[in-house]
Structure 1
Amino acid sequence: MSPLPLSGVKILDLTRVLAGPLSTQMLGDLGADVIKIERPGAGDDARSFGPPYLKDLQGRQVNMNSFYLCANRNKRSVTVNIADPDGQTIIRELAAHCDVFIENYKVGDLKRYGLDYDSIRLVNPDIIYCSVTGFGQSGPYAPRPGYDAIFQAMGGLMSATGHMDGEPGAGPMKVGPSIVDYMTGMNCSIAVLAALYHRKVNGGPGQHIDICLLDTVIASLSHYAQVYLLNGTKPARRGTWGNGGMPAGVFRCADGELMLVVGNDAQFARTCAVLGKPELTTDPRFARNNDRIVNGKELMAICAAVFLKNKVSYWLEKLEKVGVPSGPVNDFEQVFTDPHVQHRGLQVTIDDPYEQPLSLIRNPLSFSETPVKDYRCPPQLGEHTSDILSTMLAYDSGKIAKLKQSGAI
């Protein structure tokens, strides 16, 4: 089996919470050696973001909860106090041995400690230094802190999400998971990989990468934002309605809900046949997709009345036979017991530090020659401190003991 794609790449990870750690986890899955720097005693802020927590063999909670576990596998944890001069020295010495430095501190914070890009490139001119922030390295909002929900609001995502105007509960709505963090993590990974390629293949220099959540969420709005840029129209909230084809949305059935998306006229004709409404195909209100979009409320009401007459499984079987895209609205239990999801292996089980089975979500990338198979448990706080300081920096046991005693590590 070939080595993983990023084997040999060393990453110094000074990120916390979610966007940055998701990126470094992705890079670690792909074979990079990720050295996660955490605060002595407390660690990554995510460790304190509430239950459920992993438990030891005596049933006691340990400082690894679901928030931390989802974003920190395949890393090594080193505790370093970056406010301590000795801690700053450790970071600079580690950076000299690394290919990539990723951090998500507020703009200007690391400069106070001599750990900003200009300082780090003095010890490693080839370093790829990636800064992940809320608002970017420049601009009037650059110094501001922020979390995922703030950017869903400020970036326009919430304005386009939620029940339609006039319906109960109408108004802006946050997407459930921290989706902007996840997308920012992907952008961070893409940027780091591009910079590594540029350095190795094109002979380019090290560089500073500026990734932020606000840029990411605005870019993610794609055709929604393009509508506004095209003609100044603010896209309306559509609830569970789909985008483009019609009918498209969640329909309540006799025992649950299904999602239907009819993308073209041929699919519409087949849908009408399944629903026992072939006359809709010749109705001038619904003859073409543009007509169906204009008269969407009428069409959706007609379809909704029919779907109520039978079970989800009945309709899905009928729609699948005629090739109309549809699917059940699953909760998490239904997701992970779905036979296709199980076939794809989205849930992986590993042994945690307490020799108990721990389930994680597998990396979604599938390679024919370099498959991701190594899933190491997210590290305990400071689990690898002594090992890394002794092997990478050649610190002896006496020096490591003094650093621990002084609080630098």
Structure 2
Amino acid sequence: MVPMKPRRLLIPIAAGALLLASGGIATTALAVTSAPPPPVSKLSVKDKANATHWSIQAGLAKGKRVYGDATATYTAVPAALVKAAWIRDADKSKTAKVDPLATFQLGRAADVYVGLDTRAVRPAWLDATWTDAASTEKASGGVTYRLLRKHFAAGMVALGPQGSAKTLKVRQYTIAVVPTTTAANDFSLSVSPASQSVTPGQTATYSVKTGVVSGKPDTVALSASVSSATLTPASVTPGASAVLKVTTKSTDSGTVTITVTGKDSFATHTSSVTLTVGTGGGTTYEAEAPGNTLSGGAKARSCAICSGGGEVGGILGHGKPDALQFNGVMAPADGTYNVTWWYIAGDPNGDTKCGGEPNPPPQGCRPGDLVVNGVSQGIFQFPDTPNWHTLGHLTVRLKLKAGSNTIKISSKTQDVADIDRIVVEA
């Protein structure tokens, strides 16, 4: 009889179980190493009409198709996002209104990047906690996406709708994820306004804000990338603010990017803004900017003829709490400034003169109660525009303090005009 060879018996063993030796004489504990969780998982899209075109992707790179429902491809990807996990979404989702538009799971702490078409209005949910990544993506068709970044802990992330009008030739935002080894003690940094224009020799003033992201970060030391900039104070406790002033020369001209760096013993963060030095002067503040405060029925919406592609409407007055407040309006010194309001207020009878014949008030004009830093400045009359496709403007003189100011518009009586932007100059 030929002796039989012993057979090897493979038995699957659950993680953490014990392997028993023959006769139970000895036991050996299994060391089980778990694979790291995927950076992105559990994608859920609320835009049901286009959900099938969304998918989780790996290895972001030039040449990849941007959308699941369009042929556009990436033509440029910044180094920070090359090989990153990303979500291929649907271009048609740009008009969806559902909020949140999509949710997904982060397996570990990560920076989430949203690339917003530079022609699109920045939606309100992309607020000041989303900082400028100081880089862009590009896609075929000449599309440029401005990258905004926000740090998230492991867990669910919700992204809101872009909400673009169907008539606007803009693309849906892009999404990328870069896992991080975030310090247990972390802070945020943002600078506003995003851009300013001054005449040669003038000083531009920006607001620098910090916040606590996690734990107990140290004092943050601040610095700027241009030699003509001063930061007051030069270091802050996380949660406090500083003022950035950039002094220009009489011979300066052109546009420069200014990067503010904040650093403590745990982390370093940056935020960038632009400054244009030319003959125009004045600083523009968009009504639909996410840092502003909208009350009651006031809403940011798309506007094809407006400077930033958007406006704020729905300030209806009539005893309603509707209001728009511009935050972070900067002034280099205490004083009275020209504030020019750009707006739309189509009169049904074509009357563009306040109180003009044949239409007595309120026809021909829209009232605006203006409040600066909580103090009423009075009621100003905004002459109606000939139609809803023409911008009007009104310049008023308002007292501002040195540094950051708030300017609020509302009405206790008639509807307020739809506001595009304000321009502040001495």
TM category (shorter chain) comes to under 0.3
The structure with more radius of gyration: 2
- Point out the structure with the larger helix share: 1
The structure whose RCO (Cα within 8 Å, separation 6+) is larger is 1
Which TM-score applies when normalising by structure 2? 0.21
Which TM-score applies when normalising by structure 1? 0.22
- Point out the structure with the larger strand share: 2
